[in-house]
Chains A and B, each alone.
Chain A
Amino acid sequence: ETGVTQSPTHLIKTRGQQVTLRCSSQSGHNTVSWYQQALGQGPQFIFQYYREEENGRGNFPPRFSGLQFPNYSSELNVNALELDDSALYLCASSLGAGTGAYEQYFGPGTRLTVT
C-alpha cells in the first residue's frame, strides 16, 4: 500500500509568481485536504476536495485554489505569491469526508520559500 506522496520536496519562488504543488493520495482514499504550516506554527486548513469537488475551505484568499483528479490525486495552486506564503504545505488523504471520524494520513510536505 502506497502512502501519501507530495512533489516537489522543496521549491523556491519569487514574489508575484505562481506555483503548483502536487499530491498523490493513499490507495483507496477519495478525499484530499491541504494545510499550510508556517515556521513554528501548527498546520492550518486551506481546503478539502472530495470526489473532485471542493468540500470545505479555511480562511485563505481565492488566490489559493486546487483541483482533484479522477484518480483522487490533487494540486494546490497559489497565484501572486507573497513572502508570507513561505511555509511547509502538507497534503492529507482520507477515506470519506462526511460525518464520521475519517483519519487523515499526511504526506511529507513541500517546503515553499518565497523570496
Chain B
Amino acid sequence: AQSVTQLDSQVPVFEEAPVELRCNYSSSVSVYLFWYVQYPNQGLQLLLKYLSGSTLVKGINGFEAEFNKSQTSFHLRKPSVHISDTAEYFCAVRVNQAGTALIFGKGTTLSVSS
C-alpha cells in the first residue's frame, strides 16, 4: 500500500528566509507526486507536480520540489518566503492505475512571521 509522510507538522520561519517542507512516500509501483496548498477555509490548490522527466519541478508562487527516487522523497522548497505563504501544505501521491485517487500526507503548517 502507498503512504505519504510529511516529516514536520509545523514549520515557523521569518519572512524572506528559505524554507524546506519534507515529504517521503512509500510505494512499490511508479507514482505521480503532488504538492497542494490550502489557505484557511478554502479548498486545495495545486502548487506543482512530478510526472516524469526532470527531477526538479518548478511550480507557482516561486516554489520548487525535487524528486529523489532512491530516497523516495519529494521535498518542497522556496528560497525566500512571504507572509502570504502562511498556509497548510499537503504532499500527495497517486499510483498509475485506473480508479485510484490521491493519497495525502497529514500536512505541514507553514507560519511566516515578520
Contacts and interface: CB of A to CB of B under 8 A. Distances in A.
B99 A43 contact: no
Contacts of B44: 43, 90, 92, 106
B42 to A, nearest CB: 6
Contact of A45 (B51, B90, B102): B102
A48 B98 CA distance: 11
Majority DSSP secondary structure for residues of A touching B: loop
Sort chain B's interface into a size bin.
Answer: 20 to 34
Contacts of A45: 101-103
B105 A108 contact: no
Contact-residue bracket for chain A: 20 to 34
Contact of B104 (A42, A98, A99): A42
B45 interface: yes
Given A101-B49, A106-B44, A108-B42, A43 B100 contact: no
- Shortest Cβ-Cβ A-B pairs, 6 listed: A56-B99, A42-B104, A106-B43, A106-B44, A45-B101, A98-B98
